[in-house]
Structure 1
Amino acid sequence: MQGSVKDEKKFNKLIAIVSIIIPIVVAILFGVKIPNVEPLSFLPPIYATINGLTAVLLLAAVWAIKNCKEKLHQNLMTTNIALSLFFLVMYIAYHMTSDSTSFGGEGAIKYVYYFILITHIILSIALIPLVLRTYAKAYLKKFDEHRALAKYTFPIWLYVAVTGVVVYLMISPYYAY
């Protein structure tokens, strides 16, 4: 049985609140530095790996649903959401204990880096309500609407996951370990 209109309205309200609060809290915490704490400089390769794993699991989830493995698809997508939350916690922790690293490349590669970084950040913010709405549609068993929304959510999420790895690889030579 499909979820009710009332249930969907509750989800949409919660999704809107979460989609506004997360970027604001991240922006605020990004500026907070915890004094006298050892920098968590080991985190960037870990959260880059999480981005890579997310990309692989997104592709596996698409394969699963195209092969009528609904439970596997559901488990993979739930895992991807958990990985995204884990990433976010580590990302915030790193930036609360470490100074930001500047990209040191010169010439055209600098513009490529900043283009990838800026699109990655903007799309990661836009992704919050997309992922939550797509997930809610499946939870409410509105599978036609879920599929229609997933056609947009999937490529954006894949782009964000892959560019997270690319940004890390491009800036990693400039980290002060």
Structure 2
Amino acid sequence: MTDKFIFRFVAGVTIFVVAVVIVLNRHLIPGPETPPAFTPYLPMLNAILNGTCSVLLLTSLYFIKQGNITVHKRLNILTFCLSSLFLVSYILFHYLMRTDTMYGDVNGDGILSKSELADVGSLRKIYLLILVPHIVLAAGVLPLILLSFYRGLQMQVQKHKKLVRWAFPIWLFVTISGVVVYLMIKPYYHF
């Protein structure tokens, strides 16, 4: 496979995933009238997958620092698979769930009164300060992850290292912030 093909493939996958997430978050494709019974558990599953990926990424870093390429590679493949499972679960949840959850929405009506906003004011700002970079970086890190995986699996070590300098900290931030976002929004789920 040529680099040109790989770059086009990565660009295509990235555009497709980002487009699907945007379409589902805007509810442009309606889900079922009644979501399956397992649907409310998907956000918790996503947080568990993100938390596990955080631990695996840090463990992978430890093993590569020790020079154990085999364990490093296996951990990264496992992390990639769990992150892929997260993405499927995330997409499934947003397809099945027809409502959005807003931070501070104690009534579950999607409208925050002035008193509700005042009650959660500074915490809501912190939540948004974590959520916004989480979303932006989650979309942006996908091509870095895909390219660094390709370079690593091809044993193109120098190119892999250059990509991982950026991919690793961003991916780690996204997985950790995903857990934090879940823990902060969880009290406002009404399903």
* TM-score (ref. length: structure 1): 0.92
Match of 1:42 in 2: 41
Shift of 1:9: 2.1
Partner of 2:169: 155
Q: What's 1:118 paired with?
A: 132
The residue that corresponds to 1:87 in the other structure is 86
Q: Which amino acid in the other structure matches residue 83 of structure 2? A: S
Letter in 2 for 1:160: V
- Identity of aligned pairs, percent? 35
CA distance in 1, matches of 2:24, 2:120: 30
Distance 1:119 1:92 in 2: 19
Query: How big is the shift at 1:8?
Result: 2.0
Task: Tell me the residue number matched to 2:103.
Answer: 103
Counterpart Cα distance in 1 of 2:59 and 2:46: 20
- SS of the counterpart of 2:52? helix
- Residue identity matched to 2:15: I
Structure 1 runs not aligned, ≥5 long:
1-5
Number of aligned residue pairs: 172
Map Cα deviations across residues 74-103 of structure 1 (whole Å, 9 max, x no partner).
111111111111111111111122211110
Give the aligned partner of residue 60 of structure 1. 59
CA RMSD in angstroms, aligned pairs only: 1.4
| Counterpart-to-counterpart distance in 2, 1:8 and 1:146 | 13
CA distance in structure 2 between the partners assigned to 1:110 and 1:71 by the alignment: 43
SS at match of 2:40: coil
Q: Is the 8 A contact 1:8 1:140 kept in 2?
A: no
Matches of 1:143 and 1:83, distance apart in 2: 23
| Deviation of 1:38 (Å) | 2.5
Please report the TM-score for the alignment, with normalisation by the length of structure 2.
0.85
Distance in 1 between residues matched to 2:32 and 2:140, nearest whole Å:
32
After superposition, the C-alpha distances for 1:102-146 in whole angstroms (9 at most, x for unaligned) are 100611111110111110000000011010111111122210111
Aligned counterpart for 1:16 among listed residues 5, 8, 11: 11
